[in-house]
Amino acid sequence: MLGAAAVGGWATTAVQRRIAEPHPLPRPTAWPLLDDASRLNPTPIKGVVFGAESPEATATRFTPLLQRIAAGQEPALAVSGTRHSMGGQSLLRDGWVLDSLPMNAVAVDADGKTMRVGAGTTWQQVIAALNARGLAPAVMQSNNDFTVGGSISVNCHGWQTNSPPIATTVRRLRVLAADGTIVSCDASENAELFGLVLGGYGLFGVLLEAELAVVPNVVYEPAFTALPTREYAATFADLVYARASVEMAYGRLRVDPDQFLEQAIIGTYVPQPDSKGRVLPLPEMAVDGVARTIFRGSAGSGSGKARRWWLEREVGPWLAKPISRNVLLNEPAALFGNRTAETTDILHEYFVPQARLWDFVAQVKTIVPREEGDLLNVTVRDVRRDSRSTLAYARDDMFGLVMLFVQERTVVAEERMQRMTRSLIDAVLDVGGTFYLPYRPHATAAQLRRAYPAWDAAMAAKRRLDPAGVFQNELYRRYGNA
C-alpha cells in the first residue's frame, strides 16, 4: 500500500514551509497522482500537507491554509490516513490532501483503561505500545494497517463479539474545526459534533486526537464449528451469545461454485484462565507463505476455492493453536493482498439484520454468478447496535458480510461491478439492511439515502459547521449535494 509518506522528502518540506508562511503563494507543485487501496482512483491533487505530532502544532500549521481555503484562495482539503478506503474518500481531485501519519503519539493512561492517541497512529503502532503494557485495543478492524483517525472516521468494526462499532469505545475527541480552532467533544460536550465525526468521513473537521477504551491482552483458545449457512444465526447465538466467555468470533462462507455460500464455519475464541493482562510476545507477521499461496491461488478458480474450503474446514482446526488477542489483531492486510497489475481486490460490506441473514444470502447466490463476480472470500462479523454515530450503519444488531471480489482494472469490469453492487444494495435494503461507505461509490444517491436516512440532515449540518466547504473529498463530491 502506497503510504503518503512515500511522497515525503524535499517536496514535503517545501510544502510545509509554504503552509507555515503567513501568506503562502498558491503555486501548484508537480505531485504524482495519489491513489487509494482500490488501485482504481489515480487522482491529480494540488499537494500533500503533513500533520504534526501534537494537536496544537497541527492546528498552528494548518490554520493559515484553512483560512485561505475559506476565503476561496486555495482549493479544499481532504484528510487521509493510510488510504485503505476505496472510493476517493481520502482524496480530492485538484485539492489539498492532509496526510495524518505524523500525528502518531500514543499515551496509555495510568489506570490502564484508556489511551490517548494521535489520529495518524496506525493500529500496528497502537498494538506495539499496548502490548508492552499487557493491554490491547477494544475494537478495531481485522488488520493493523489503518490509522485510528481513518478507523473512527468510517466508524470501523472488527470481529470482537457483542460489540457495536468503534464509536462506543471513543471517550473523547479533539477536532480541528474549519475555522482553525481545536474543539473537544464527547457524548455530553459538543455532542452534535461528536456524533457527526464518528463515521463522518473527514467532512466535519480533522480528527487530531482520540481517547479510546483499551482492554487487557489475553491468550485465546480457538474452536471451529462447520454448519449450513441457513442455520448461521441460530448457531451463532448458541455458540457466542449463550456463552459470555467468547470474546472474538467470525464466520466464513464457502465460495466455490459447488455449494456456493451454502456452508459456513464459525471460529470462536475464549480466553485461557489467568492469561488476562499478561505481557506476551508479539512476533512479526511474514507476508509470504503457504496460506497466502493457497488464498491467491483460488482467485478465478472454482477448484482452487473448493480446495481452500476443504483445507479450512478439515485441516485448519488441527493447525489452530492458542493465540494472543494482539497477535490476532496485528495481521497486516498485505498478508493476503493482490499484487497483480491486471486485477485488484475490491471489498464490499453489507449489514444484515441477524434474522434475515439467509434471506440476503439467497439473493447474493443469484446476483453474483449472474454478474460473473469473482467472489474470493466472505467473512461474517457480529456488529451490535450503534446508537452513537449520526451516520450509523448498524441501527440494529447486524451481521456484517465482508465480501472480497477480484476485479479486472478495466472500464468494462468497473461497469459490471457497479451493476452488481447496485443489485446487492437493493437486496440488502429489501431485508432492512445497510451497506458500508468506505468502498466503491457505486450506490445511487437514492440507495445511499435509504441506507442512511440521516444523510441529508448530516449534510445540512456540514454546511452549517463548514459553510465554505473547507473539508471535502470525492465521497462528498459524489453524494454531498446529490
Cell of 452: 442512511
Return the number of the residue (195 or 438) whose C-beta is nearest ligand FAD: 438
Write out the DSSP string of 291-313: HHHHHHHTTT-HHHHHHHHHIII
Q: Is 129 helix (H, G, I), strand (E, B) or coil?
A: helix
Report in angstroms how near the CB of residue 446 gets to ligand FAD at its nearest. 22
Write out the DSSP string of 340-376: -SSEEEEEEEEEEEGGGHHHHHHHHHHHHHHTT-EEE
Return the number of the residue (95 or 158) whose C-beta is nearest ligand FAD: 158
- For residue 471, which amino acid is it? F
Report in angstroms how near the CB of residue 303 gets to ligand FAD at its nearest. 25
Report in angstroms how near the CB of residue 289 gets to ligand FAD at its nearest. 17
- Cα–Cα dist 425/443, whole Å: 7
Report in angstroms how near the CB of residue 13 gets to ligand FAD at its nearest. 21
Report in angstroms how near the CB of residue 452 gets to ligand FAD at its nearest. 15
Cell of 215: 482492554
Report in angstroms how near the CB of residue 314 gets to ligand FAD at its nearest. 26
Report in angstroms how near the CB of residue 305 gets to ligand FAD at its nearest. 19
Return the number of the residue (12 or 100) whose C-beta is nearest ligand FAD: 100
Task: Measure the N-to-C terminal CA separation of the chain; round to a whole number of Å.
Answer: 31
Return the number of the residue (275 or 400) whose C-beta is nearest ligand FAD: 400
Return the number of the residue (89 or 275) whose C-beta is nearest ligand FAD: 89
Helix axes 10-20, 55-70, angle to 10 degrees: 70
Cell of 292: 497466502
Torsion sign over Cα 372, 357, 308, 257: negative
Return the number of the residue (89 or 421) whose C-beta is nearest ligand FAD: 89
CA angle, corner 128, sides to 135 and 153, nearest 5?
85
Cell of 250: 467470525
Report in angstroms how near the CB of residue 143 gets to ligand FAD at its nearest. 5
Name the residues that contact ligand FAD, by CB under 6 A.
37, 78-85, 89-90, 100, 119, 141-143, 146-147, 149-151, 153-154, 156-158, 201-202, 206-207, 333, 347, 438, 473
Report in angstroms how near the CB of residue 131 gets to ligand FAD at its nearest. 20
Cell 479533539, located at residue: 174
Report in angstroms how near the CB of residue 273 gets to ligand FAD at its nearest. 28
Report in angstroms how near the CB of residue 189 gets to ligand FAD at its nearest. 19
| Contact assessment for residue 73 and residue 80, using Cβ atoms and an 8 Å cutoff | no
The H-or-E segment that residue 317 falls in is helix 316-319
Return the number of the residue (83 or 325) whose C-beta is nearest ligand FAD: 83
Starting at the edge strand that comes first in sequence, how are the strands of the sheet with 434-435 ordered? 323-324, 219-228, 263-271, 248-253, 374-383, 398-408, 343-353, 434-435
Show Cβ contacts of residue 44 under 8 Å, excluding neighbours closer than 6 positions.
Answer: 31, 33, 93, 94
Q: Which residues pair with 401 in a beta bridge?
A: 350, 380
Return the number of the residue (68 or 83) whose C-beta is nearest ligand FAD: 83
Return the number of the residue (201 or 455) whose C-beta is nearest ligand FAD: 201
> In which region does residue 88 sit, left (phi positive, over 0), alpha (psi from -120 to 50) or beta (all else)?
left
Return the number of the residue (312 or 474) whose C-beta is nearest ligand FAD: 474
CA angle, corner 427, sides to 298 and 374, nearest 5?
15
- Cα–Cα dist 166/383, whole Å: 10
Return the number of the residue (151 or 275) whose C-beta is nearest ligand FAD: 151
Cell of 364: 447474493
Report in angstroms how near the CB of residue 404 gets to ligand FAD at its nearest. 8
Q: Which burial class, exposed, middle or buried, applies to 315 when counting CB atoms under 10 A from its CB (0-12, 13-18, 19+)?
A: exposed
Return the number of the residue (81 or 275) whose C-beta is nearest ligand FAD: 81
| Contact assessment for residue 402 and residue 342, using Cβ atoms and an 8 Å cutoff | no
